[in-house]
Structure formats: structure tokens, C-alpha cells
Chain A
């Protein structure tokens, strides 16, 4: 299980980003996880919560934007989610398609408290 290390990388990034927002709490981090990323969203949530608990990062939520595998048809150019092993375009029936999405492991966004809190608050 490498989700612990990956959750830790997310938190390291949150800590680094936090320096850009002195005195403001970060409440949420959005992460994009593709079907083919090799990362399990549930294990990721579990590890994330365990790492955040009882730290100064609390409260900090994780929002997972799960991205199923998507292909783009080489013939009509429209995109679709292939069912396992079925590469045929559901729009035009063409056989050739290209992988376009579904292996992401990306930090998408942070939700940061508005305005500045007074020092020491």
C-alpha cells in the first residue's frame, strides 16, 4: 500500500502552499485520481484522514475527483468511456481510439479561508 506515502506527499504540498497564505487556514485539497493511476481512492482517503488527525492541519478535507478511463475516437473525434476491452466508439462505431484521460494523479486545487486572520488568532 503506497497510498500512505502519496497522502503524505499531498500534505507536504499543502504545507508548502500554506506559506503563500499566511494566517489563513486551508480547509480542503482537491486531488484528481485516474482509474489507471494505481492509486485507490478509498485507501487514499483513509490514509489522508489518519495523517491529518490531531495535527495543526485540522480541519482539512480531501476531495477526490475520480477520473475513469476515457478515449477519443480517431474517426469522429468524440470521447467516450470504453467498457473493459471494448474500444469501439459508441458514437460512430469506429474501432480505432486513443487514450486521453484516466491516469492522473494530480493536485487540482485548495480551498483557503477568506481574508487575513489577525496574528496569533
Chain B
């Protein structure tokens, strides 16, 4: 028997397409963010609050993934920005090929922020690079403070944790300090913002993070040209 070394990624094809996407985003100075959470944590609500805070001349676009329905795209189109629904059929995550196809027909020159809402799932999306600059993980106080410990991969890979539905804190047994500690057990130093998409509490902190990230992306773009 002969042993032949391979030494490459299992998701080699996905990695190749993701690298191409990343290069295209860099060329067009686009900041791409990949939002990941369980179903019902509030990804679409966070995007609604985000889009409504933007003026109409913002160059933002949204891709939203689900197994079925155009519901999320319909919710998000109300704000007047380009939104495309990706229905995966049965697939539990978005992959780089789906993003590549969804971008077809969109002019990247018209864009400097691309927000991707992944399929609601804390496990599978963490394995698939979409060419994003950063992954953002959301979870809500109704889900319990141990989510980071149960789903370490995504909390490890995410650059920002958004803890949503803090307006429900009086009604659910959720310990904020433990939740923060759990997230930092998996990813020491990870940034955490606490928001309520209902009462809008904390949203400014999220918008500041986003704005700083966009600014940093522009600075990188300016220095590379």
C-alpha cells in the first residue's frame, strides 16, 4: 500500500470560489458580512433595523438565505435597497457557489456593503466560507446563555456576537454575565453587542460597529490603490 499525501481543504472547491469572491469584493471595495444564527434569533429583524437607519443613497445590498419562501426578501425590500432571496431547497447553509450565482446580474460597482443573511442554523454555516470579511453570530436571550458552549465553532469564527431580544430579559431566566463569559470562553476578546430589535435598545452600538468596520474597509481600499 502506498500512502499519498494530499494536504488540502476538504471543501476545496468552496474555498476556491470564496477566494474569488473575496478578491472581487476587494477590487470593488465592498465590505461583505455573513450573519449566522439559529432560526428565529432575529437576523432579519436586525437587518430591518439596519436598513431603516440608512439613507437612500447608501450603497448596500442584501442576500438572504432560507430553505423555502421569499418572506425575508419581501420584509427587507420595503427599505428600497437591492435584496435577493436565495432559496436552498433543503440545504442547511449557504455556500460560496450560491453567493456567486446570486450576485449575477448585480453591478458590484454600485455597492459598498453586502450583507448576507445565512440559513438559520448555528452548525453548518460555520464550515462554509462565503468570501466575507467577517462572520457575525447572533443569539437571543430566549435561547439560553449556554449557546456559545454548545456551538463553539461559530462563536470561535465570528468576529462579533450580537445578543438580541434583551427586551425579554425580565421574562426569561437568562444571565447576561454568564452568557458573555461563555462567549469569551470560546473566543477570548470577541466583541459583543446587546440589542433589542423591538425597543431598539443597543442598536446604536451595533451601527457604530458596522460603521467602524466600513470605515476600516475604505481605509484599506484607499491604501491599496
Asked if A110 contacts B156 (CB within 8 A), the reply is no
Asked if A108 contacts B6 (CB within 8 A), the reply is yes
Asked if A2 contacts B92 (CB within 8 A), the reply is yes
Given contact pairs A38-B127, A103-B157, A108 touches B5 in the complex (Cβ within 8 A): yes
Asked if B8 contacts A107 (CB within 8 A), the reply is yes
CA of A38 to CA of B182 in the docked complex: distance in angstroms?
18
Contact of B1 among A10, A36, A85, A111 (CB under 8 A): A111
Chain B interface extent, by class: 20 to 34
Instruction: Give the chain B neighbours of A36 by CB distance below 8 A.
Output: 152-153, 156-157
Asked if A38 contacts B3 (CB within 8 A), the reply is no
1/0 per residue, CB under 8 A from A, across B1-44: the answer is 11111111111110000000000000000000000000000000
Asked if A110 contacts B4 (CB within 8 A), the reply is yes
Tell whether A109 is near chain B: CB-to-CB under 8 Å. yes
Asked if A84 contacts B11 (CB within 8 A), the reply is no
Asked if B6 contacts A109 (CB within 8 A), the reply is yes
Asked if B10 contacts A85 (CB within 8 A), the reply is no
Contact of A107 among B10, B91, B126 (CB under 8 A): B10
Residues from 8 to 60 in A contacting B, C-beta threshold 8 Å:
9-10, 13, 17, 21, 27, 31, 35-39
- Candidate in A35, A38, A84 with the most chain B CB atoms within 10 angstroms: A38
Tell whether B124 is near chain A: CB-to-CB under 8 Å. yes
Instruction: Give the chain B neighbours of A5 by CB distance below 8 A.
Output: 91
CA of A39 to CA of B149 in the docked complex: distance in angstroms?
15
Asked if B12 contacts A105 (CB within 8 A), the reply is no
CA of A39 to CA of B85 in the docked complex: distance in angstroms?
27
Asked if B4 contacts A109 (CB within 8 A), the reply is yes
Tell whether B67 is near chain A: CB-to-CB under 8 Å. no
Residues from 105 to 143 in B contacting A, C-beta threshold 8 Å:
123-124, 126-127
- Chain A nearest CB from B1 CB (Å) reads 5
Asked if B9 contacts A107 (CB within 8 A), the reply is yes
Tell whether B188 is near chain A: CB-to-CB under 8 Å. yes
- Candidate in B92, B156, B184 with the most chain A CB atoms within 10 angstroms: B156
Instruction: Give the chain B neighbours of A85 by CB distance below 8 A.
Output: 181-182, 184-186
CA of A84 to CA of B146 in the docked complex: distance in angstroms?
13
Asked if B92 contacts A6 (CB within 8 A), the reply is no
Asked if B10 contacts A109 (CB within 8 A), the reply is no
Asked if A110 contacts B3 (CB within 8 A), the reply is yes
Q: Which residues of B contact A (CB under 8 A)?
A: 1-13, 91-93, 123-124, 126-127, 149, 152-154, 156-157, 181-182, 184-186, 188
> Other CB < 8 Å A-B pairs besides A1-B92, A85-B184, A111-B3, 9 of them?
A6-B10, A9-B11, A36-B156, A38-B126, A38-B127, A106-B9, A108-B7, A113-B1, A113-B2
